[in-house]
Structure 1
Amino acid sequence: MRRGDSSSRRLRLVAAALVACVVPAAATPGTAAEPSPTAVPATPVCEVRDARLTEISGMVATDDGYVVVNDGADDEARRRIFFLDRECSVVRTVSYPSRPRDTEDLAVGDDGTVWVADIGDNGRSRETIGVWKLPPGADRPVLYRMAYPDGPHDAEALLVTGDGRPVVVTKYSATLYVPGAVLRAGATVPLERVGQVRLPASTTSNPFGALGATAVTGAATAPDGRRVVLRTYADAYEFDVADGEVVAALTGGTPRVTALPDEPQGESVTYDRDGRSLLTVSETTSQPPGTTPRVLRYFPAGTVASTAPPATPTPPAGADGSRAARLRDLAAPVAVAGALGLVLVAVALLALGRARRVRSR
């Protein structure tokens, strides 16, 4: 979530709150409410004290420490790929050859290539999204562009399969997209919609309430490739992967749920190198001055959350351009109850539209 779009973020949350007042409570389409998992206290690992790193939106663990990126910062000094040691001190930075749009997540391939997901789009105005690939030892990442088949989406989570294929997970509908062809530098490859994740409803405490519990803000693959995890502002959902079939695991598997309660603005998740624990870190720009990001360690829960059969149909491809489809993407497909609800939602969406800023790469 971009620092420059803080007013847009607040308006989104206001819109979601207004919807919650006049429509039935809902999580991702087709899920049933489940008791939240018992929260296991997180163990602090280290603090990130570099003043350039207050908007951390993506993190991966390496043998030597961590790699992190900021959420699309306006300040050039923050637009880097940052390499940290095990004490969270910056030991190296890598610049982009051109300005990234909105970097939101990180992944690391089996060959050690770092993937930067330039996929954020709060205003749903981008014609293309991208991934930057930084092979081991390289001093500049290379950009690969992709385009959705059904209009723009906001996304903050990226997975990379064992055969090197990126999987983009949209933020508010948990829809999965993969490239329809081999990525090529200097070309735009069309994406294909391949499914949707049905996350259980949650009541885990988080700064953004019901909307925060459904917004997918990060993803990671275990070092052995046999598990993947999606996180929201509230919880981590871990899926078992058989035979490298990541999409099948996400669309047909039943996740284990680990509560991540009350993180300031949790947008990052990764597995530690031994695969035994999950590591998270939050953005801190909205926190009191002097607050530093902390890397936290959680041990995944062994409990399994159940999901219910779909209660509503998946929106058709191409429908995202309508106001109704955008509302579904923000707060799940629900019917607005009563004229008052319609007025409140319309006012909130109008304010949100005025707050959006259209930027071109």
Structure 2
Amino acid sequence: MTVLSAGAALIAAMIPLAAGPVAAVPVAAAAETSCRVKDDRLVEISGLVADGDGYVVVNDGADEESGRKVFYLTRKCKVSRTVSYPSRPQDTEDMARGADGTLWIGDIGDNDRDRDGIGVWRLAPGGKSPTLFRLSYPDGAHDAEALLVAGDGTPIVVTKDPLTAGVYVPERPLDTSATVPLRRAGAFRIPVTTTDNPYGFKGRFVVTGAATSPDGGRVALRTYADAFEFDVEPGGSADAVVRAIGEGTPRRIALPDEPQGESIAYTADGTALLSVSERTDGANGVDMLRYALPDAPAPIAASSAGPSAAPKKKAAEPAAAQRPDEGGIPWGALAAGGALVAAALVLGLVIARRRSR
């Protein structure tokens, strides 16, 4: 048994004792395929937003220069244009879209946890070059793959720390001439689920992407297995988003058996979530999947909805929504489960050394 499998097995054994019952399997609902991404440059898609009449995506730390761009896609997933960075990014892991159409790219990946700082790129609507803002953690390096933007335009970084993800916000307004320190404003304690995914148990306990709804009233965090959607107080400030994630009761949307699900976004009308995996099947490309949200508010007006037309076909994988009180972790019990914490440390050390894109 490898160290990884041993750590995962130990946690799996202790969760029922320390964290209460595992979430029940939700009622299945079909995921649908919106389109298929086949461009040879898009082999490690890690960030996704719906924008205008199509989508925007970025790769995860692309090895080839041709992949280190911001890619605009039509609603049929064809590349319509690209925007280059003015300097080489280190590891672009997620995207967010502000209410005004501003795009934010999270240069926040750090698999080896050895970066002195991270960055976010800001691209104005119609812009030809993004602007870099540098950030630093207050408590050492973290790997992160999830970026949100609050209604007030504040970027929010959610780490990939196992079991409990840190939520970080800038201490002061962003500044192109200086590194701005982050503060740990909150945390997301990832609920227990049983959703199938290629990484098994460990795939359910790291955050790999995030999304903000078009109206700013909801945010979603995803793992390799599930998405968790939170309602945000009116106004959508950074503090409101942090409170929603740390104190709110999310809805769970199962995202089962995606090849390597790291991206999540809302459709432009806010009625569904979109997901696209890193490309794992060569020339065949990868499907962009659409998961309807049963509890979504009324659709946003068609004039601003963008790519929300009915998908072309249904995929085989099921998806569904449920409240986390059907399987959330009672954290007082978790605090008493010292063995679970020890096992989590084992898994965290392994994940820190594993290249996961």
Q: TM-score range by the shorter chain?
A: 0.7 to 0.9
Match of 1:305 in 2: 324
Contact preservation (8 Å) 1:196, 1:251: yes
Counterpart among 253, 256, 272 of residue 277 in structure 1: 272
The equivalences for 1:94-173 within 5 A come to 94-171=83-160, 172=162, 173=164
Match of 2:79 in 1: 90
Counterpart among 199, 202, 206 of residue 215 in structure 1: 206
Find the aligned partners of 1:224 and 1:86 in 2 and give their Cα distance. 21
Match of 2:283 in 1: 290
List alignment gaps of at least 5 residues for structure 2. 294-319
SS in 1 for 2:253: strand
Shift of 1:80: 0.2
Contact preservation (8 Å) 1:58, 1:104: yes
Match of 1:224 in 2: 215
Match of 2:296 in 1: none
1:198 aligns with 2:189: yes
1:186 aligns with 2:177: yes
SS in 1 for 2:138: coil
Which amino acid in structure 1 is aligned with residue 231 of structure 2?
A: D
Counterpart among 306, 325, 341 of residue 334 in structure 1: 341
Find the aligned partners of 1:92 and 1:336 in 2 and give their Cα distance. 46
Find the aligned partners of 1:126 and 1:135 in 2 and give their Cα distance. 27
SS in 1 for 2:242: helix
Shift of 1:305: 1.6
1:75 aligns with 2:70: no
Q: Deviation per CA, 1:179-229: give whole Å up to 9, x if none.
A: 001000131000000111122101100000111111111110111111111
List alignment gaps of at least 5 residues for structure 1. 1-12, 315-327, 357-361
Shift of 1:137: 1.8
Which amino acid in structure 2 is aligned with residue 334 of structure 1?
A: V
Shift of 1:49: 1.3
Find the aligned partners of 2:219 and 2:351 in 1 and give their Cα distance. 37
Shift of 1:350: 8.5
SS in 2 for 1:43: strand
Counterpart among 53, 61, 67 of residue 64 in structure 1: 53
Which amino acid in structure 2 is aligned with residue 186 of structure 1?
A: S
Contact preservation (8 Å) 1:32, 1:200: no
Paired residues in the alignment total: 317
Greater strand content = 2
Which amino acid in structure 2 is aligned with residue 268 of structure 1?
A: S
Contact preservation (8 Å) 1:220, 1:270: yes
Contact preservation (8 Å) 1:66, 1:84: yes
Contact preservation (8 Å) 2:14, 2:340: no
Shift of 1:32: 5.2
Find the aligned partners of 2:352 and 2:274 in 1 and give their Cα distance. 33
After superposition, the Cα gap between the structure-2 partners of 1:296 and 1:207, relative to the gap in structure 1 and judged at 3 Å, is: same
Shift of 1:17: 1.8
Find the aligned partners of 1:351 and 1:203 in 2 and give their Cα distance. 20
Shift of 1:308: 3.9
After superposition, the Cα gap between the structure-2 partners of 1:152 and 1:242, relative to the gap in structure 1 and judged at 3 Å, is: same
TM-score, normalization: structure 2? Answer: 0.82
TM-score, normalization: structure 1? Answer: 0.81
Q: Percent identity?
A: 54
Q: Does 150-159 or 235-244 show the bigger shift?
A: 235-244
SS in 2 for 1:297: strand
Shift of 1:289: 3.2
Shift of 1:277: 0.6
Which amino acid in structure 2 is aligned with residue 18 of structure 1?
A: A
Find the aligned partners of 1:14 and 1:159 in 2 and give their Cα distance. 35
SS in 2 for 1:204: coil
After superposition, the Cα gap between the structure-2 partners of 1:205 and 1:119, relative to the gap in structure 1 and judged at 3 Å, is: same
